């Protein structure tokens, strides 16, 4: 009987960890409009050459041969939306979005929490390599078989506790540490990394920024 109870408890604990939850529970959703979405793209092209917004879906794409954000910059090409108006330096902040990566896109960052103690620039990067979603390049792998399907991404940044949480489809996948920094914001889209594919694309919908009051 005792063994059965212990087994039941262990099973419940396991389920509690892998059962989808709503990571936005207890958070307050902040208002977003067009002015909160700023496009970063190759400096020599209009936004519409690397971005579209149709039926609520942000589609962002870039080629490995594209120019960087600024002339004479050594950074890789990108087509990203930087959330504007909600930069933060303390508190608890959350990004939610549904992401989609077409087959073939690899060697690219699709979501980041910007800001860290130099020489780092970012606190978190979610990258695509060979069909899986990685925490930076070394991993761990956050999600396998990501191509050609929508997945829900919730990233929570506990600034004071210097901790983050990454949920995919409501399941906690990763709790990476913070990396300092005094100014943070969320970005999503495509930002080329080493070994990227020639064509890189990600799509996003249902973008929310939330915080704890
Ligand atoms: C959009 O949001 C900004 C910042 O939150 C606000 O100042 C502005 O009035 C809003 N614009 C519209 C058209 O709602
Ligand atoms: C992706 O695949 C390429 C080619 O097989 C390999 O060289 C590379 O190490 C892989 N990248 C990762 C992060 O697994
Ligand atoms: C987080 O740190 C900031 C700055 O040090 C402080 O003002 C704030 O009260 C802290 N918040 C919490 C929830 O601890
Ligand atoms: C990318 O490759 C270059 C050249 O091999 C190397 O110097 C650089 O450190 C790499 N960058 C990253 C982020 O791995």
Domain ranges in the chain are 23-211
Ligand 2 pocket by Cβ (under 6 Å)? 129-130, 137
CATH for 23-211, options being 1.10.357.20, 2.40.50.100, 3.20.130.10, 2.60.120.200: 2.60.120.200
CB-CB neighbours of 93 under 10 Å: 24
Residue 130 CA: which ligand 2 atom is closest?
1
Contact 66, 45 (CB under 8 A): yes
Nearest to 128 by CA among 196, 28, 204: 196
Please write the tens of the pLDDT for every residue from 111-145. Answer: 999 999 999 999 999 999 999 999 999 999 999 99
CA angle 173, 129, 87 (to 5 degrees): 60
Ligand 1 pocket by Cβ (under 6 Å)? 31, 33, 35, 85
Our mutation pick for probing the ligand 3 site, out of 26, 88, 90, 183, counting the most ligand atoms within 8 A of Cβ, is 90
The predicted model scores a pTM of 0.89
Structural Rg of the chain based on CA atoms: 18
Residue 34 CA: which ligand 1 atom is closest?
1
How many whole angstroms separate alpha carbon 37 and alpha carbon 56? 13
Q: Work out the pLDDT band at 17, boundaries 50, 70, 90.
A: low
Please write the tens of the pLDDT for every residue from 70-119. Answer: 999 999 999 999 999 999 999 999 999 999 999 999 999 999 999 999 99
Across all residues in the chain, what is the average pLDDT?
A: 94
**Exposure b/e, 161-177, CB count within 10 A at least 16 = b:** eeebbbbbeebbbbebe
Our mutation pick for probing the ligand 2 site, out of 145, 195, 196, counting the most ligand atoms within 8 A of Cβ, is 195
Please write the tens of the pLDDT for every residue from 20-63. Answer: 999 999 999 999 999 999 999 999 999 999 999 999 999 999 99
**According to the model, what pLDDT value does residue 8 have?**
61
Residues shown for the chain: 213
Q: How far is the CA of 33 from the centre of ligand 4 (A)?
A: 36
Ligand found nearest the CA of 197? 2
**According to the model, what pLDDT value does residue 18 have?**
73
What are the strands, taking DSSP E only, across the chain? 28-29, 37-40, 51-54, 57-63, 78-83, 92-100, 108-114, 122-129, 132-135, 141-143, 150-158, 163-168, 171-174, 185-192, 199-211
**According to the model, what pLDDT value does residue 1 have?**
60
Contact 92, 202 (CB under 8 A): no
Please write the tens of the pLDDT for every residue from 169-205. Answer: 999 999 999 999 999 999 999 999 999 999 999 999 9
Nearest to 65 by CA among 38, 42, 88, 96: 42
């Amino acid at each position: 009987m005792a063994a059965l109870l212990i087994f039941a408890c262990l099973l419940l604990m396991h389920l509690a960890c892998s059962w989808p939850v709503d990571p936005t529970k207890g958070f307050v959703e902040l208002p977003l409009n067009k002015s909160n979405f700023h496009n970063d793209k190759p400096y020599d092209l209009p936004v519409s050459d690397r971005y579209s917004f149709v039926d609520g879906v942000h589609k962002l794409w870039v080629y490995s041969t594209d120019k960087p954000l600024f002339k004479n910059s050594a950074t890789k090409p990108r087509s990203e939306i930087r959330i504007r108006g909600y930069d933060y330096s303390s508190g608890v902040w959350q990004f939610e979005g549904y992401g989609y990566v077409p087959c073939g896109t690899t060697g690219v960052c699709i979501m980041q929490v910007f800001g860290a103690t130099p020489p780092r620039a970012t606190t978190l990067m979610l990258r695509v390599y060979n069909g899986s979603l990685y925490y930076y390049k070394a991993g761990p792998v956050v999600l396998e078989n990501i191509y050609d399907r929508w997945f829900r991404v919730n990233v929570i940044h506990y600034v004071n506790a210097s901790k983050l949480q990454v949920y995919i489809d409501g399941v906690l996948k990763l709790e990476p540490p913070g990396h300092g920094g005094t100014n943070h914001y969320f970005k999503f889209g495509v930002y080329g990394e080493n070994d990227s594919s020639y064509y890189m694309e990600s799509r996003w919908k249902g973008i929310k920024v939330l915080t704890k009051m």
